[in-house]
Structure formats: structure tokens, C-alpha cells
Structure 1
């Protein structure tokens, strides 16, 4: 064993296999081979790695296999990193990709310090995020089912006179409609039944979320974020479940970059060119953030709904939320007055809104808040 050297290990992880490559210190990278993904085979790999060096650093790409391998390796005392696949350096024109080459590339990039680690949530945080994502997926399925039914009716020349927003009048009209053909009626009934099933699924998941969030460690953050304009229970749950611990961001700009709302840049010498936002990071969190930002195009005011959400929230946070609303509403109007499009102005507001979320969320974790759903 070489106690004075660091063993760098790259793992190319798949559902049924893991390709392993390693290098001791600055030595040439070697391929250890391919192993299975069972716990016994991973433990045998750990013993082989421990026999080669005292300090072992492992890395694998974030993917559909999750963080189970990271937790297993961390429990063995290894320094393990889960890296972002989109930020791995790649040579232009490289046309050959194999598991062996990917594992070797991970070793070299880890040794050079060129990899960006992703945040690994705790088991509890990941479980709550899974529940929140199931709820978001059910609401998306409901939206698609409604669109399919509206398209079916339009295809057969059935048009609703009014606003087809699935309000009471729209639903009553749909419930009284029928087709002459039994086949078309069967298809129509199945579309309606799909909507009813998705509505029931959304109700079950929302009830479960409202019951579970009270015992979640980030429940104070969910409460404090709802004090802000445009962030209701749906948005707060989605944002906090995806962002996780806001204290891992040392500066609000780090959160803005993680969500992907910072401008892209291509500068050289004295020329500085900025383009559209990077759209890196979590797309669902970015979607929720931009949707919330659109509410700031209206003049600043505290509605009855916002007052209800602010009940029991410390005055310090309420004042901070009001400052954010005034600043962001003014920011939107100024950008539009300067000739910026509404979409560009909303993205700029979303970027600053991320900074206020960082501030108010961290402030909420440090305060004692009431435990109500």
C-alpha cells in the first residue's frame, strides 16, 4: 500500500454494470474492469481499492441510478463525488465513446479538478422530493389529459362559446355533451374518465404533501417563501424540494447560476458579449421561478391571499417580502420602458427573485415558526 499517494477512481455506472478505472497519484490510468452493481460486488471493489492506497477519491456521473452508490461508498469512508455530466470536459471532434473511455476520462478529470459536483440530498429530503415530483407529474398529466379532450372536441367541430378554462360552467357543458356514434362516445367517455382519475390522483398527492411537509426540516422555508408574491404552496413546495438546503449557496449569484437564469457570455480581450440565459441546472425549479416572476408585472400590492399566507410569519420576513415586491415590480416596469420585451424583463425579474428567495429562505431557517399546514 502506498500511504502517501491518492487513488483516483472513475466509475462509469449503468443499471447492471460498473466499469472501473483508477490511477495512483500522477501515474498512468489503468482499467480495473467491469463489475456488477450488487452490494457484495461493490464491497469487494472497496476492499481492492483500500489495498492500493490509504486515501481513495471516487467519482461517477449523476444519472438514473440515483445516489445509492454514493451513500454506500460514503458509509465505507471513501471520498466520493457525484459529478454533473453536462459539465465534464470533452474534446471537440471526439467521436468514440465507450464505458472504458468514460471511466478513464473521469479519472483524469477528477485528478485535474475539472469536475463539478452535484448536491447529494439526504434520504429524507430525497423521499420528500420524490413525493413532490410525483405531484408535479400528476398535475402535468392532468393538463395533458384536458388538452387531449379539448383537441378531440375541436376535431369534431365542437366549440365551447366562452372561456374554456375548466371552470364550473365549462365542466357542466362537457358533462351534458354526447355523440351520435357509440365509438366516438366511448372515446369521449374515456377522455373524461382520464381527467377524473388525474384529478383524484392530484388530490391524494396534495393531501399527502400537506400532511408530510409539517414534519419536514425545510417546512419553515416553505412557510416563509409563501410570504412573497407569486409563490403559493405549489411553487414553494416545488422550489424548496428541488433547491434543498439554501445554506449550501454562499452567495445568491451561486443560486442564480444553479437555476440557470444568469446570462451566457462570450468575451475576449476588450469585447464583452452576453447572450441568453444559460438554462443550466434544474429546469423544473427554473420553470417555477419564471412563472412566479410574471406576477411582478402588475403594480405592487398586498392581496387578501398574500395576507392570509403571511399570518403567523415574523414581521421581519413580511417587510423583506414587501421590499422584494416593490423592487421587482419597479424593475419590470423600467425594463419594459427601456424597450426590453416582456419576456426578457420577466427573466431579469426571475434572476433577482432568486436572490430574494435565497435571502428569505435562509432567514426563515433561523427563526422559530408556527407548525401549521
Structure 2
């Protein structure tokens, strides 16, 4: 006898979860179960009641600030669960009312119709490394802000550093020896300097921790493969692998480019076809790191001592692909520049190509412990 199918929509918040159930069949009832605490045990009790008739449960909720704890718990219990992308959830534009009840019912109805797009849920160990790389990115942003505050403070009072490089040893000595006309100003300078130092130490601690943890990570073979490419040192390679996970879920590099939001918007109708700026959809962290890694493309292709060391023991095919990437990106950068394309657009074009090359390089990685996307 075929089991009853129950499609459950969860509107998840920090403290509460609204539950709606769509029974199997297109004309099946979409009923509101009610609101429960976001405590995992409360959700389990509610779902057991929904499936008390022995029916199969298919749960869906939108990705958000609560992460994947609920997803992993339900999967442990043997309950089918997907986390869906809010940006790709169909919306009724004529419906101006948005409530938790309506959202839960909409998710249940769309899940039953098969119209929801699931996101890739990383394994817990992979998410831990991703959190580490994101913490480092936060620390770098805090450091940038701290330095900007210090420079803005000095500029307001007429102090400009005339040396060549900011934050060099000479620049730091200039800041330490700077004489300000009032004790309060000197105290403010000391506080800003202390804030910069603390941020620098935080970045250093996180990078050291990443250096210790990355080689123990199950996806480190993929990191090593990326590190054979110029521009991909440990941090950049770890960020991209942690953000993307198993790239084998992208059948073609164009799918990865679209996932990263590096493809242009398109408005086509009839014989008219208009392309706009990039979509910026998908993973902003991975897109940002790709843009950082192509900054070298303006320089002539070269295998530096650092890159040569990273390539030691790597297969010849990877080294050949690495060189091909350098030559291609350098040629592309100057070709677009000579055509009058502005540098920001050139950088985006290079990042898009780098995404394709990274996809190709990661296909060569030995990932024995990899699992397919959930």
C-alpha cells in the first residue's frame, strides 16, 4: 500500500517555527499545523504528530540566519528535508500580505509542486572551516576600518604621511613619533593605534589557525590543487573550496559562473537581446576571492619562487594548466584594456574566466572523502 505523502513547510525564526502541511495530490489540503518553539525537540514532537498516520514527511524551510542545525537533525532522524534558496522561491506578486502562516503554507504548497530550489548544505566539518575563513574575512574588514579611522582622524587635523607606502615600518614609526598639540588628541591617536594593532593580531591568529587546521581538513587535496594557480595561496584556496564544496555538482563551468553571479543579466524578447551588469547572485564570498586572485593578471606570466614551492610534487598536468591560466588571463587583460574596457569590467571578466579555470583544476583533485551535495 502506498504511503501518504506529507509536504511540510517551516517558516523558521530564532525563537519560533510556523508549520504548515500540504497533503499529497495536487488538490490535497494545505493546512496550518501551528506555531512551535524553535527548540529541536519541539519540532520533532510536532513532526511525529504530522506523520502519526505512517505517512512520509518531506520538509522544506528557507535558508537563513539559523543555519543548518535543524536540517542536520531531521536528516539524522531519517526525515527527508531540504533547505531552499529564498531568492529563487516563486512569489505571487499580486499578494501584498506576508505573514508567518502564509509563508509556511506557501512553502508546503510549492514543495508539493516541486517548485523549490534546494541549496547545497555543507558537511559540518566543512562548515567549520568555512566559518574560520569567514571570521578571517571579518577581521580583515575590521582592520581596514580601523586603519581608515586613524587616517581620517589625522587628515582632519592636517597630518599627511608623505612616504611611499602606508603601514610600512617607516609609516608606523612616523605614527608613533607624531607630536600632537593637545594631550586629548595624543590619547585618541594612541587608542586608534591600539585598535589597529589588535585587529592585526586577530588577523594573524586566525591565519595561523587556518594554517594548522587546513592540512587536517578532508578537502585539503582540493586546496592543494588550487594552490598550484598563481594568486591562490592557502587563504584564497581554502576560502574558495570552503564556499563551493564539491564542484562536481556543477556539470559545466558556466553553471559555476552563474552560481557565483559572474554572468550578465539578460533581457531578451523577440529579436531583441540586451545584456546588463553581472547578476551578483549566489555566493558573494567566493566571488570576492576570485576577484582578488586575478589582480596579478596585469603582470607578465611568471613562476615565482613561492609558486614553484607550492607546485612541488604536483602532477605535470596541473603545472601545465597553471601556466596556461597565467598566459590566458594576462593576454585577456591587456586585450580588453586596449579595446578601452574600464578596469573594473576587465577584472570581472577575468574573475569569470578564473572561475572556469578553477572548476577545471578542481576536477583533477583527489577527493576520496567527498560526498555529493545533499
Aligned: 1:232 with 2:233: yes
**1:354 alignment partner, SS class:** helix
The alpha-carbon deviation at position 106 of structure 1 amounts to: 0.8
Q: Aligned with 2:4: secondary structure?
A: strand
In 2, distance between residues paired with 1:360 and 1:93?
46
Residue 20 of structure 1: aligned partner = 19
What is the aligned partner in structure 1 of residue 242 from structure 2?
A: 241
Matched, 1:318 2:319: yes
Q: Which digits, 9 at most, give the CA deviation of each residue in 1:185-242, with x for residues without a partner?
A: 1111111111111111112111111010110011112122121122222211221121
Aligned to 1:51: 52
Give, in whole Å, the separation in 1 of the partners of 2:59 and 2:93: 26
Question: How far did 1:128 drift?
Answer: 1.2
Q: What are structure 1's unaligned runs of at least 5 residues?
A: 368-373
Q: Distance in 1 between matches of 2:77 and 2:156?
A: 60
Residue pairs, 1:61-100, within 5 angstroms: 61-100=62-101
Q: TM-score, normalised by structure 1?
A: 0.93
Aligned residues: 366
- Give CA-to-partner distance per residue, 1:224-266, whole Å, 9 cap, x none: 2121122222211221121122222222112111111011111
Structure 1's 366 and 37: CA in aligned 2 closer, same or farther, altered over 3 A?
closer
Cα distance, 1:64 vs. partner?
0.6
TM value normalised by structure 2 = 0.93
Partner residue, 2:302:
301
**Greater mean alpha carbon deviation, residues 166-175 or residues 84-93:** 84-93
| Match of residue 371 from structure 1 | none
Give the whole-Å Cα distance in 1 for the aligned partners of 2:204 and 2:335.
Answer: 41
Contact residue 265 and residue 277 of structure 2 kept, 8 A: yes
Contact 2:222 2:367 in 1 (8 A): no
Gaps of 5+ in 2: 369-374
Greater Cα offset, 12-21 or 310-319? 310-319
Task: State how far apart, in whole Å, the 2-side matches of 1:332 and 1:6 are.
Answer: 54
C-alpha spacing 1:166/1:232, structure 2 compared with 1 (3 Å): same
* Segment of structure 1 superposing worse, 244-253 or 100-109: 244-253
SS in 2 for 1:254: helix
Per mean C-alpha deviation after superposition, the further-off stretch among 88-97 and 343-352 is 88-97
Moved more, 185-194 or 326-335: 326-335
Question: Which residue number corresponds to residue 350 of structure 1?
Answer: 351
1:80 alignment partner, SS class: strand
2:371 corresponds in structure 1 to: none
Structure-2 separation of matches of 1:148 and 1:216: 37
> Per-residue displacement from partner, 1:136-155 (whole Å, max 9, x unpaired)?
11111111111111111111
Offset at residue 164 of structure 1 (A): 4.3
Structure 1 segments, 4+ long, off by >4 Å, are none
Residues 196 and 108 from structure 1, CA distance in 2 versus in 1: closer, same or farther, beyond 3 angstroms?
same
